């Protein structure tokens, strides 16, 4: 249930963004903070959250993260200003970073390796997919009839149920050996995209140029400090040896670039349907139902094709599908097409997510051992979230800058996404996997 509502929270804000902007008087560029604040802190602190679970006990950290998520949801629901809402979203990301790795680790430990664990993780993935899908529809319904604040408040009873279930159903944590935490690395990994995103969003605004220039410079400095810190740390967040596997590195770079395009597409759909076509939140949510159905179909059938196609073929297919979707969005916006005309783009996005991310997840953990499986999974998840957040800030931030108006923002954002996908394809084409991967080897 926790995974379900965390997944819902990733997409539930999309349809509500125009209503949030109308209440607080914020532009499309500034509204990107409602999305990226959550995903950046969640992705940046994810691996630290996993280490805290190992150190202090997964049940304890699961409950702590869930409680933080609940408190942040209340704060978001009653936010009296846009900065308070963004702060609440940042706090929700912290809750996710603590709770999600602990919850997954509990599943791994409760179910023995083999068919039971495989089935449990399949259910986990299916629940996440359903949460992402429901987020689109639920956002439209709640925003239309109850107001956008309820997209956050509705989760409270269910999160409290998770806390109760964890209290009574999960075994108490055993005593654990203390491990050294790379807190500095986690903070630098989170600060890098936060500063970068702030700089990109504020470019062209009324802010003093020194502000956004300093933020961009700070982002690059924090990134360099992170790499230096990881090389010197006795217990780094990401061991330097992780980067010795070229294919794994290529897969994570491609993951970030694909996620950037996918996340951008969700916002472009929302802005186009509501801002350009003037649809209500409910009508927007219903228009996005084909995307939801296609996502469920992709999550169900694509994993079955992996053995026959090979990971690299799936990855390249997903990148092509996503690029075609971005082109379709740009053409639809240019022609001022009605909502149903965007259905082909929605289906292509679902196919891109299904083929691309499944193949990249496989490549990102290929060849791992018992000692680095957790690190590889954490890095892949972080690449997905941080890539999506940074992509939204960069592609939507530049596209919806004050210099661009009318249909141009959709063309600019889509073009930037396609360019990023081309770079991702260059990296993906160099991925080599073991012979067991068939076509991808």
d(CA 387, CA 384): 5
User: Does residue 166 fall inside a structural domain?
Assistant: yes
**pLDDT of amino acid 391:** 86
Contacts by residues 241-245 (CB-CB < 8 Å, ≥ 24 positions apart): 242/372, 242/375, 242/376, 242/379, 245/367
Whether residues 384 and 323 share a domain: the answer is yes
Whether residues 277 and 189 share a domain: the answer is no
271, 28 contact by CB (below 8 A): yes
Whether residues 374 and 350 share a domain: the answer is yes
**pLDDT of amino acid 64:** 87
**What pLDDT band is residue 158 in, cutting at 50, 70 and 90?**
confident
User: Does residue 207 fall inside a structural domain?
Assistant: yes
**pLDDT of amino acid 439:** 42
User: Does residue 239 fall inside a structural domain?
Assistant: no
**What pLDDT band is residue 323 in, cutting at 50, 70 and 90?**
very high
Whether residues 435 and 300 share a domain: the answer is yes
User: Does residue 110 fall inside a structural domain?
Assistant: yes
Comparing 32-36, 240-244, 346-350, 411-415, the range with the smallest average pLDDT is: 240-244
Whether residues 304 and 271 share a domain: the answer is yes
329, 410 contact by CB (below 8 A): yes
The number of folded domains in the chain is 3
71-80 residue pLDDT tens: 999 999 999 9
Whether residues 272 and 319 share a domain: the answer is yes
174-188 residue pLDDT tens: 555 566 677 788 788
Whether residues 199 and 336 share a domain: the answer is no
Whether residues 340 and 210 share a domain: the answer is no
User: Does residue 379 fall inside a structural domain?
Assistant: yes
User: Does residue 431 fall inside a structural domain?
Assistant: yes
> pTM (2 decimals)?
0.78
- Burial of residue 121 (CB within 10 Å: 0-12, 13-18, 19+) is middle
**pLDDT of amino acid 206:** 58
d(CA 238, CA 34): 28
Residues 310-328 as b or e (16 or more Cβ within 10 Å = b): bbbbbbbbbbbbbbbbbbb
| 405 pLDDT more than 60 | yes
Query: Domain residues for 99?
Result: 1-179
Whether residues 33 and 102 share a domain: the answer is yes
Of 132, 160, 179, which residue sits at a domain end? 179
DSSP character at residue 244: G
Q: What percent of the chain has pLDDT over 70?
A: 78
Of 179, 198, 214, which residue sits at a domain end? 179
User: Does residue 302 fall inside a structural domain?
Assistant: yes
**pLDDT of amino acid 149:** 92
Whether residues 35 and 89 share a domain: the answer is yes
User: Does residue 23 fall inside a structural domain?
Assistant: yes
Task: Indicate the SS3 state at residue 223.
Answer: helix
Whether residues 149 and 190 share a domain: the answer is no
Whether residues 140 and 2 share a domain: the answer is yes
Of 179, 197, 214, which residue sits at a domain end? 179
Which CATH number characterizes residue 410's domain? 1.20.1250.20
- Dihedral in degrees, nearest 10, Cα atoms 242, 243, 247, 253: 110
């Amino acid at each position: 249930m926790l995974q379900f509502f965390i997944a819902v929270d990733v997409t539930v804000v999309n349809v509500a963004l125009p209503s949030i902007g109308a209440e607080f008087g914020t532009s499309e560029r500034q509204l990107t903070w409602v999305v990226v604040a959550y995903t950046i802190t969640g992705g940046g602190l994810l691996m630290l959250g996993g280490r805290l679970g190992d150190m202090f006990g997964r049940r304890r950290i699961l409950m702590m993260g869930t409680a933080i998520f609940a408190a942040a949801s209340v704060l978001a629901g009653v936010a009296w200003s846009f900065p308070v809402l963004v702060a609440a979203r940042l706090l929700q990301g912290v809750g996710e970073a603590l709770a999600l790795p602990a919850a997954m680790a509990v599943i791994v430990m409760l179910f023995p390796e083999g068919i039971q664990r495989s089935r449990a993780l399949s259910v986990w993935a299916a629940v996440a997919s359903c949460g992402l899908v429901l987020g689109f529809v639920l956002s439209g319904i709640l925003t239309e009839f109850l107001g956008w604040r309820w997209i956050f408040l509705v989760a409270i009873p269910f999160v409290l149920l998770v806390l109760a279930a964890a209290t009574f159903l999960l075994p108490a944590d055993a005593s654990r050996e203390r491990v050294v935490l790379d807190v500095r690395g986690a903070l630098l990994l989170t600060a890098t995209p936060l500063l970068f995103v702030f700089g990109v969003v504020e470019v062209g605004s009324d802010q003093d140029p020194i502000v956004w220039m300093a933020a961009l410079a700070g982002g690059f400095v924090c990134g360099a400090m992170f790499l230096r810190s990881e090389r010197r740390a006795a217990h780094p967040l990401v061991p330097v040896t992780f980067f010795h596997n070229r294919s794994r590195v290529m897969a994570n770079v491609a993951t970030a670039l694909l996620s950037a395009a996918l996340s951008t597409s969700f916002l472009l759909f929302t802005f186009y349907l509501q801002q350009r076509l003037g649809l209500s939140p409910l009508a927007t949510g219903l228009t996005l139902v084909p995307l939801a159905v296609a996502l469920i179909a992709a999550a169900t059938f694509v994993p079955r094709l992996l053995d026959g196609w090979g990971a690299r073929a799936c990855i390249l297919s997903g990148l092509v599908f996503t690029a075609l979707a971005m082109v379709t969005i740009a053409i639809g916006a240019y022609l001022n097409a009605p909502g149903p005309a965007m259905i082909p783009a929605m289906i292509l996005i679902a196919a891109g997510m299904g083929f691309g991310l499944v193949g990249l997840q496989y490549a990102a953990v290929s060849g791992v051992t018992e000692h680095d499986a957790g690190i590889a999974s954490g890095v892949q998840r972080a690449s997905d979230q941080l890539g999506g957040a940074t992509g939204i800030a960069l592609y939507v931030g530049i596209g919806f800058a004050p210099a661009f108006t009318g249909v141009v923002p959709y063309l600019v954002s889509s073009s930037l996404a396609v360019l990023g996908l081309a770079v991702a394809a260059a990296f993906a084409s160099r991925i080599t996997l073991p012979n067991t991967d068939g076509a991808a080897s």
